[in-house]
Amino acid sequence: MMEWKRSAFDWNQARAFLVTAEEGSLSAAARALGLTQPTLSRQVAGLEEALGVTLFERTSRALLLTQSGVELLAHFRTMGDAANSISVAATGQSQAVTGHVLISATDLMATHFLPPFLKKLRETAPDLQIEIIASNELSDLRRREADIAIRHARPKDENLFAKRLRDTTAHLFASKQYLDEVGRPKTLADLEGLKFVGFDQPELRLGLMASRGLNLTTANFNFSTSSATLTLELVRQGFGIGILPIEIGEVYPELENPCLAFEPISIETWLVAHRELKTNLRIRLVFDLLAEGIGSKH
């Protein structure tokens, strides 16, 4: 039987500790929660008194977790997740969730992977306003250029929260029209005399191709672009061979893999958000639905 009296501390105090630990300072946590710094400090001190432990070492330069704080933080994160789940369930994941969420993704990901997710999001939270940045340039989440980003590399910034999604596999694709004109290659060496499209800076990708036994030069690339959607269209219209995610390339019956001997390329996919994800209901809702829609890596 649960000992209820042992858990008689204030949830607001628990949240104050959790957000302070996640944000790294009282001032940042106060801004995230919309409180004054003295109020937040009192809440954290009240939790320490209720639990009988010191959670932070307060120095002139930083706020550091004590060993007790580190050990308890995982439990409070679980409480925070549960509180968010309760909030979502209480509103039916629905019309009570309002506001603006900015999502950043590559143009190809935004065009081909996001629309099915957006349909589900519209049904779940119709009052949300979603803005999408379709760009291959990284949005700076620390500067709030986006709330959530879909990236193909794990972020190094410890202030960002990242969840790995299922990997994408990329293959060579070319139009049947182009291969009818130049002939279908039988070996990797045969590919070296053909034209390729894509790659913002082809010279940066030649090493990757060489590692798979395909020795190309910049002369193989008559057309290059930073836009993956334009790359797809150039491949479809017969300008040459391109590298595309298999889920996209196989959608178009006019495309085929020109050489099965080429080793496929595995591309990581990460869902990234600022640590505010833990305390912002609308961002957490969109983040969780994105993870479910695109698929987490197990």
CA R_g for the chain: 25
Q: Are 285 and 97 in contact (CB under 8 A)?
A: yes
Q: Are 164 and 270 in contact (CB under 8 A)?
A: yes
Which of residues 275 and 271 earns the better pLDDT score?
271
pLDDT in tens, 160-179: 888 888 888 999 999 999 99
Percent of the chain with pLDDT over 70: 87
Distance CA 153, CA 269 (A): 7
Q: Are 290 and 271 in contact (CB under 8 A)?
A: yes
Mean pLDDT of 179-191: 94
Q: Are 56 and 69 in contact (CB under 8 A)?
A: yes
Mean pLDDT of 91-98: 51
93 Rama class: left (phi>0) / alpha (psi -120 to 50) / beta = left
Cα torsion 275, 277, 283, 284 to 10°: value is 150
Crossing angle of helices 67-90/281-294, nearest 10°? 80
Report the mean per-residue pLDDT for the chain. 84
HEC string of 213-274? CCCCCHHHEEECCCCHHHHHHHHHCCCCEEEEEHHHHCCCCCEECCCCCCCCEEEEEEEEEE
pLDDT in tens, 220-239: 998 888 888 999 999 999 99
pLDDT of residue 232: 94
Mean pLDDT of 2-25: 77
pLDDT in tens, 98-150: 788 889 998 888 998 898 888 888 888 888 899 998 887 776 665 667 888 89
pLDDT in tens, 44-63: 999 889 888 999 987 766 78
pLDDT of residue 298: 42
Q: Which residues contact 7 (CB under 8 A, 6 or more apart)?
A: none
pLDDT score of 2 more than 70:
no
pLDDT of residue 250: 92
pLDDT-derived band of residue 273, with 50, 70 and 90 as boundaries?
A: confident
pLDDT of residue 94: 41
Size (the chain), residues: 298
Token pair in block for residue 47: 């939790």
